[in-house]
């Protein structure tokens, strides 16, 4: 039995593009994959799929390919395969044959969500304190602590209802958003991400890490100017950004040639309900660089792990005691002349079989962090996404 109810929708300029009619689609785990067209499961080692990524990025021609890399795949690239469970989904790789503009955003249902579970301050504080001890003992310099919110919803909602709710207002669409519905899993992976893991075009690769967040209530120039003044003079946020910028500059240098440069040291980014700051780092790559070369050096993104990355990932595994999955992973979209990869923040997994939605959020912790303000920042990032879905 085959199932053609498999699609991806992405924001593109002022439109939405819908990819359909997949010729190949697989969800990869550590020791098997699920064929998302037939629903069949096959024994398979994840290393086999990783080897298929050894194609030169300068030669890639496929303009209808979408990959979702899940956070736990990063343990493989950091030589920590023992941290990966057999039940952890690691990647979804889909090659489509058709695409068209998607305009079906009017007349949809209002999304109603009922909260099942959310991070509690006391539990968050215990994890914060444990991680903070790692900072004071010199085991890391920054770690990105996250929490999970779980909701239930009316079982009659369709994938299109959620997509329309999230993206009906063009101004609120994330620059690196994506929505993939897999019929055989009966799940949708829905992201409104504003953050770039990397962009590659014509031999140049860049990344734009986000660090630092303030809540905003309007789009007035006066409020934005005040918030940006406050954010760019905040020493804790500045320290976070510069630390991760240095980490990523080093990551980019390790890909190929040691000449990565910081092209933007600190710049503002407006997203729904928030103002962030980000930096930009660029590196020129030789014609021999493969996608595998890039991913094994920069995935998962330093802004959602911390520094040093490998040690922090081990610390976070103990602190969070759950899989991040799609959240904090990356969605890679191939076009004829470029490759764009997100960091999947402002992202949810919607399970239609069980009528539940999982959303995760968090922030970077340094020695200058204060637990109450960090907990509040996590709730702001929650509101930035959930409010769009439900208002």
Active-site annotation, residues: 195, 211
- For residue 336, give both structure tokens: 């004829």
307 neighbors 228 (Cβ within 8 angstroms): no
Whether the CA torsion 189, 194, 367, 137 is positive or negative: it is: positive
Q: What are phi and psi of 357, to 5 degrees?
A: -130, 130
Whether the CA torsion 338, 343, 347, 349 is positive or negative: it is: positive
Q: What are phi and psi of 108, to 5 degrees?
A: -95, 170
141 neighbors 243 (Cβ within 8 angstroms): yes
- For residue 100, give both structure tokens: 């068209």
Q: Where are the alpha helices (DSSP H) in 187-265?
A: 221-232, 235-255
Q: What is the DSSP letter of 151?
A: E
Look at residue 364 and give its three-state secondary structure.
strand
Cα 169 from Cα 69, distance rounded (Å): 27
298 neighbors 207 (Cβ within 8 angstroms): yes
């Amino acid at each position: 039995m085959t199932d053609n109810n498999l699609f991806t929708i992405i924001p593109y300029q002022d439109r939405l593009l819908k990819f359909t009619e997949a010729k190949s689609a697989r969800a990869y785990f550590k020791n098997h994959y699920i064929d998302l067209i037939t629903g069949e499961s096959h024994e398979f080692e994840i290393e086999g799929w990783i080897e298929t990524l050894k194609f030169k990025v300068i030669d890639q021609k496929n303009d209808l390919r979408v990959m979702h890399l899940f956070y736990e795949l990063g343990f493989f690239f950091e030589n920590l395969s023992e941290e990966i469970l057999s039940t952890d989904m690691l990647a979804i790789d889909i090659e489509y044959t058709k695409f068209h503009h998607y305009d079906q955003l009017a007349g949809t249902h209002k999304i109603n969500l009922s909260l099942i579970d959310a991070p509690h301050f006391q539990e968050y504080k215990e994890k914060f304190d444990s991680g903070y001890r790692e900072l004071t003992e010199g085991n890391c310099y920054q770690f990105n602590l996250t929490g999970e919110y779980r909701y239930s919803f009316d079982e009659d909602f369709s994938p299109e209802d959620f997509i329309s709710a999230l993206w009906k207002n063009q101004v609120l669409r994330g620059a690196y958003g994506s929505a993939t519905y897999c019929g055989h899993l009966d799940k949708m992976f829905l992201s409104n991400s504003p953050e770039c893991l990397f962009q590659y075009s014509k031999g140049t690769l860049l990344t734009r890490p986000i660090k630092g967040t303030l809540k905003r209530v309007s789009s007035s120039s006066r409020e934005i100017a005040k918030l940006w003044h406050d954010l760019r003079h905040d020493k804790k946020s500045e320290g976070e950004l510069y630390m991760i910028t240095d980490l990523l500059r080093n990551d980019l240098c390790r890909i190929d040639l040691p000449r990565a440069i910081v092209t933007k040291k600190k710049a503002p980014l407006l997203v729904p309900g928030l103002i962030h700051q980000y930096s930009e780092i660029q590196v020129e790559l030789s014609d021999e660089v493969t996608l595998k070369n890039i991913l094994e050096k920069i995935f998962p993104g330093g802004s959602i792990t911390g520094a040093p990355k490998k040690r922090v990932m081990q610390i976070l595994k103990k602190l969070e005691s759950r899989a991040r999955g799609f959240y904090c992973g990356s969605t890679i979209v191939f076009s004829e002349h470029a490759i764009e990869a997100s960091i999947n923040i402002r992202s949810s997994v919607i399970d239609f079989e069980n009528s539940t939605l999982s959303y995760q959020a968090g922030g970077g912790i340094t020695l200058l962090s204060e637990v109450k303000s960090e907990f509040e920042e996590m709730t702001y990032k929650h509101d930035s996404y959930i409010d769009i879905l439900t208002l």
